[in-house]
C-alpha cells in the first residue's frame, strides 16, 4: 500500500516532499514530519524570519491570549484568532484560517486554504490543502489528504488502551507499523461525520464517507460510505393519574 493510493502531495508543500516519498506506506511518513520542519528551519532564508516577527508584532500589538512557539512559519493571509496556541515546529500555509481556542501542538504541517475550527487540537500531523475541520476535533499522528472534511466532534484517536504497537488491519491481514502512536490516514476528499471516532491505524480511501456517530477501525476502500443502520422507536408517554 502506497501513499499515492491516498493522496498526491500538493505543490504548496513541495519544499517538504523529499521527506514524504509517494511510493512509501503512508504511515511511514509520520516520523519524518519533525525532520522536515527542522530541515526547513535550517535552510529557510533569514529574512523570512524577520517578516514573520514583524507580522506577529503587528497582529498581536494589543492584549491577546495567543501563544506562539519556536520555529513557526505563518504564510500569507493567514487568519489568526484572538485566542489560540501554536507550539514549536509548525508550518501553516497561505490563506489558512485558525479559529478561537485551537491548539496546534508540536510538529504539524498545514497546507494552504485550510480551516482549523474552534477548539480543534492537532499534534504531529500532516494536513494538506483545502482541509476543513469544523470544531472540537482531535487529530493525533495523522495524515489528511487535500479536501478532507471533518465534521464537528470527529476524533482521530492515536493510542491503544493497552499502549501496544499499532497494526494496520486490511481484511484479515495485519500489517505491523512499529508505531505506538498512529491516528488515521485519510485519502483526498474523504469526509468524517459528526462525533465519529476513527480508531488507531484507520485508513479511509479517497472520496469515502464515514457517517455521523460511527466508530471505525481498519481499511475503508475508496468511493465507499460507512454508516450504522439504526431503528428509531417512538412511543406514547405513560402517565399516572
Q: Where does 47-196 show beta strands of DSSP type E?
A: 65-68, 72-74, 83-86, 90-92, 97-98, 102-104, 108-110, 115-118, 121-123, 125-127, 132-135, 138-140, 143-144, 149-150, 155-156, 166-170, 173-179, 184-186, 191-192
The C-alpha cell that represents 44 in the structure block: 529557510
HSE-CB for 113 with a 13 A CA cutoff: 10
Domain ranges in the chain are 3-226
Q: What is the pTM of this model?
A: 0.88
Report pLDDT digits (tens) over 34-64.
999 999 887 665 545 545 545 555 555 444 5
pLDDT at 56: 55
Report the CATH superfamily, name and number, of domain 3-226.
Hexapeptide repeat proteins (2.160.10.10)
Q: By the 8 A CB rule, do 6 and 186 touch?
A: yes
What stretches in the chain show pLDDT beneath 70? 43-65, 241
Report pLDDT digits (tens) over 162-188.
999 999 988 888 999 999 999 999 999
Amino acid at each position: 500500500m502506497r501513499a499515492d493510493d491516498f493522496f498526491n502531495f500538493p505543490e504548496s508543500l513541495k519544499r517538504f516532499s523529499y521527506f514524504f516519498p509517494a511510493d512509501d506506506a503512508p504511515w511511514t511518513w509520520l516520523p519524518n514530519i519533525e525532520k522536515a520542519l527542522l530541515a526547513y528551519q535550517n535552510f529557510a532564508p533569514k529574512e523570512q524570519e524577520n517578516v514573520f516577527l514583524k507580522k506577529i508584532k503587528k497582529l498581536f500589538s494589543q492584549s491577546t491570549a495567543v501563544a506562539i512557539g519556536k520555529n513557526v512559519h505563518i504564510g500569507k493571509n493567514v487568519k489568526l484568532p484572538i485566542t489560540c496556541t501554536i507550539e514549536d515546529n509548525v508550518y501553516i500555509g497561505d490563506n489558512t484560517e485558525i479559529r478561537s481556542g485551537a491548539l496546534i501542538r508540536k510538529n504539524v504541517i498545514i497546507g494552504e486554504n485550510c480551516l482549523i475550527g474552534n477548539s480543534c487540537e492537532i499534534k504531529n500531523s500532516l494536513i494538506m490543502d483545502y482541509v476543513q475541520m469544523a470544531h472540537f476535533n482531535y487529530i493525533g499522528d495523522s495524515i489528511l489528504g487535500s479536501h478532507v472534511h471533518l465534521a464537528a466532534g470527529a476524533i482521530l484517536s492515536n493510542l491503544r488502551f493497552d499502549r501496544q504497537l499499532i497494526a494496520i488491519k486490511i481484511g484479515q491481514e495485519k500489517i505491523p507499523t512499529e508505531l505506538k502512536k498512529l491516528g488515521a490516514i485519510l485519502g483526498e476528499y474523504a469526509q468524517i461525520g459528526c462525533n465519529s471516532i476513527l480508531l488507531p491505524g484507520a485508513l479511509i480511501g479517497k472520496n469515502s464517507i464515514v457517517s455521523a456517530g460511527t466508530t471505525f477501525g481498519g481499511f475503508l476502500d475508496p468511493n465507499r460510505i460507512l454508516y450504522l443502520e439504526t431503528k428509531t422507536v417512538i412511543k406514547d408517554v405513560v402517565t399516572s393519574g
